[in-house]
A and B are shown apart, each in its own frame.
Chain A
Amino acid sequence: MLARFVCPATTGCLGLAAQAAARQVGQWSRAYAAAATTELTVRDALNSALDEEMARDEKVYILGEEVGEYQGAYKITRGLLQKHGAERVRDTPITEAGFTGIAVGSAFAGTKPVCEFMTFNFAMQAIDQIVNSAAKTLYMSAGQISCPIVFRGPNGAAAGVGAQHSQCFAAWYSHVPGLKVLAPYDSEDARGLLKAAIRDPDPVIFLENELLYGTAFPVSQEVLDKDFTLPIGKAKVMRQGKDVTIVAFSKMVGFSLEAAEQLAKEGIDAEVINLRSIKPLDRATIAASVRKTHRLVSVEEGWPQSGIGAEIAALAMEECFDDLDAPMGRVAGAEVPTPYAANLEAMCFPQVPDIVRQVKATVGRA
């Protein structure tokens, strides 16, 4: 691996999404547990989750490139080396296959590693260790050897980082039995899901989003509690609605919420579901929503073929075909390796107007 893009404080490139999120806080407060009291960035949510879980269980340790002395390529592990020591926050030589294998082996031997990839794009160099070793060993050993490991890092597109730094891997990992796959959106998700992932005995893929690291979300006291966890396999209804169900994960949840506000002005009341968990997928929540709204749109950054939307379409056929008044609509990324030029890149990934347009088509108001 040669080029490593360390994105500095990203407020500059966050653009509309984060600003909109901050603006809309008041209207969404009913979606958050209890009364919102503190603003917490996703970065600090992840950092505090790691800190607390390491204090709670001495078997938990962090490894990856630049996680220690450098405080983390995206500063997610800031301060942890100083607080917990070099044995528990390990800087590794540059070999994803190597440090992933090391982490997997140490998990077989009883530790609970949190293995950071600078981006999941680089994890492709380690994917054999993730799939053939971490995911399958419990099964192959008939329950004798477990791998309580968390693989975490930024997934999907950032801004202006080109084809080899922008791929979404949700669909790839969601395919594999033996893995659990989580995709947090806001700070509550980040804290609750990461703590749950670290405490889980199975290998977990934790797909973060670089552009959300700097976004602050309101969180309740409950979320800040050191034992706050979210259940793995449960989606969250972010916004109730009656005309159409929009299913999204990660950054697209924010875009979907913004699209829902715009659609509301035109009399279309959208329900927005934040998947939180890609595997296991909360089929029941999606189906229950479709039974209510009768229309379904999925939104993802990744490529359409064999993507998460394809899985949602299949489950719609299996679970709630008779409740659909229209075929499901899919919003996904353009089927090209991500170009670098800003104008081309903007056309590659779903923007709020794309979601609005698809929803209108699905509800028959195109």
Chain B
Amino acid sequence: MEFLGGPLTPSSPRIPCYRTLDGTGKHIPDAVVPHDLQQQDAVALYTAMAKLQVMDTICYDAQRQGRFSFFMTCAGEEATVVGSAAGLDPRDMVFSQYREHGVLLWRGFSFDDFANQLYGNSLEPGQGRQMPIHYGSKELNYQTVSSPLATQLPHAAGAAYAMKLDGADTVAAAYFGEGASSEGDFHAALNFAATLGAPCLFICRNNGYAISTPANEQYAGDGIACRGTAYGMPAIRVDGGDARAVYCATRAAREIALRDGCPVLIEAMSYRSGHHSTSDDSSRYRTREEMVAWRARDPVVRFRHWLVANAWWDEEREKQLRHATRQQVIEALEKASKVAKPPVSALFSDVYADMPWHLQEQLQETLQVARRHPHLCPPDMPVQ
């Protein structure tokens, strides 16, 4: 009779962590790299990560200046998000949590697109319905962000099942943090995806914190990766700060999902360098020393060192990229701030596929009141 696990076997081996670059960005000899990056792809990956970093910094500051109500950065997780995005097919449907806008950037969402969403103006496809950072794009196969945590996980399993019924060669990819994996929906989604044989990738950003809750208070087991095998799916733990490793793992996971008709779990280990959001001050629950130590292992810097070592990147190009991106982001925010807000009719449309009579009545009533009393309507809102 043998009990395994928990406090009875404290030194049982952890699931190993796959990586190809060390903490300073040097290639690890003998590292397994099934899909190595050539210059063009490596530079594309790097520029996306750097642009993401610049955009995050400026938008965070813009929120602090009161230009819009809310923002979240992905500081410290650029490699996890962009590396995995590059490993997916653009037709794969993405169900994100809220920190994966790097996937959108990789797929072609422009700075204007981001800015329009943040300002909730009439140019954004979401028509000002959602709070900032709740992006979505049907065109880029990126589901609109849903605030309640982990609800996107069963959605992804269901979408993957639909793809399977269709005989499609695409997968669904769900992103979530290690905190969200405590939700009931996580359990249901993984169990289901496995029993249904749905080609779904579950990509966990284990970034050490769920707002102020550190990972060692979030779970007692061997992180999130160990749960994959428990549900009957292949799982891997990867160094989330190593863009090349994340890229390789995602590509491989995708191949497994389609070839073997099963879900795959990826746990990317990284660190949330920024605050949880603009509503958080993380200095209240972690030390400066800890943050500085992780900053020294910044994934963008690590990857840049590898590019420089290959003579694919240099100081000059770095300066130019940072400078140009800064200008573009600031310009985009400026432009977006001047665009009119969605009109009054945007309040009542899209509740149903066709506007029912009672909403038509309410819309007409609202327009009448707005025209009779213009001072009741915000000045930048077209009364139509």
Contact = CB atoms under 8 A, between A and B. Distances in A.
Contact of B185 (A93, A98, A140): A98
A127 to B, nearest CB: 11
> Which of A105, A107, A138, A200 has the most chain B CB atoms closer than 10 A to its own CB?
A105
A143 B143 contact: no
A311 to B, nearest CB: 12
Contacts of A140: 126, 129-130, 134, 136, 144, 146
Nearest to B152: A105
B161 A102 contact: yes
Interface stretch (A108-116, A164-172, A267-275, A329-337): A108-116
Contacts of B195: 93
Interface of B: 93, 95, 125-127, 129-130, 134, 136-138, 143-144, 146-148, 151-159, 161-163, 165-166, 172, 184-185, 187-189, 191-192, 195-196, 346, 349-353, 356-358
A285 interface: no
Contacts of B93: 109
Nearest to A102: B158
Contacts of A138: 350-353
Interface stretch (A9-17, A128-136, A155-163, A217-225): A128-136
B95 A105 contact: yes
Given A109-B158, A129-B151, A233 B144 contact: no
A110 B137 CA distance: 16
A95 B187 contact: yes
A201 B352 CA distance: 8
A101 B144 contact: no
Given A132-B151, A144-B144, A102 B192 contact: yes
Given A98-B187, A101-B188, A140-B144, A110 B151 contact: no
Nearest to B163: A109
A145 B136 contact: yes
Contacts of A92: 192
Interface residues of A, number: 45
Contacts of A256: none
A28 interface: no
Given A101-B185, A101-B189, A145 B157 contact: no
Interface in A161-217: 177-178, 180, 200-202
B351 A178 contact: yes
Contact of A146 (B129, B137, B152, B353): B353
A2 interface: no
Given A98-B192, A108-B159, A141-B138, A180 B352 contact: yes
Contact of B125 (A90, A95, A106, A144): A144
24 contacts: A87-B165, A97-B185, A98-B184, A98-B189, A99-B192, A101-B151, A102-B189, A105-B152, A105-B157, A105-B159, A106-B159, A108-B155, A109-B163, A110-B162, A132-B147, A133-B151, A138-B350, A140-B144, A140-B146, A142-B350, A144-B125, A144-B144, A145-B143, A280-B357
B352 A202 contact: yes
A170 to B, nearest CB: 17
A283 B362 CA distance: 15
Contacts of B95: 105
Given A98-B189, A102-B161, A201-B353, 4 more contacts: A95-B184, A101-B155, A105-B95, A137-B146
B127 A142 contact: yes
A76 B50 CA distance: 57
A139 B189 CA distance: 25
Contacts of B165: 61, 87, 111
A210 B158 CA distance: 28
A103 interface: yes
A110 B349 CA distance: 21
A104 B172 CA distance: 14
A90 B151 CA distance: 21
B356 A139 contact: no
Contacts of B184: 95, 97-98
Nearest to A177: B351
Contacts of A142: 125-127, 129, 346, 349-350
A100 interface: yes
A105 B174 CA distance: 11
Nearest to A90: B196
A105 B351 contact: no
A109 B136 contact: no
B146 A144 contact: no
> Which of B125, B151, B191, B358 has the most chain A CB atoms closer than 10 A to its own CB?
B151
Given A99-B188, A128-B151, A105 B158 contact: yes
A128 B155 CA distance: 13
Contacts of B154: 97-102, 104-105, 129
A32 B206 CA distance: 62
A89 to B, nearest CB: 12
Contacts of B158: 101-109, 113
B107 to A, nearest CB: 15
Nearest to A98: B188
B191 A98 contact: yes
Contacts of B349: 142-143
Given A100-B154, A105-B156, A108-B155, A133 B146 contact: yes
Given A106-B161, A137-B144, A280-B356, A95 B136 contact: no
3 closest A-B pairs by CB: A98-B188, A101-B154, A105-B155
B282 to A, nearest CB: 27
A141 B140 CA distance: 13
A319 B221 CA distance: 61
A87 to B, nearest CB: 6
Contact of B188 (A87, A95, A177): A95
Nearest to B127: A142
A219 B196 CA distance: 39
> Which of B136, B148, B156, B188 has the most chain A CB atoms closer than 10 A to its own CB?
B188
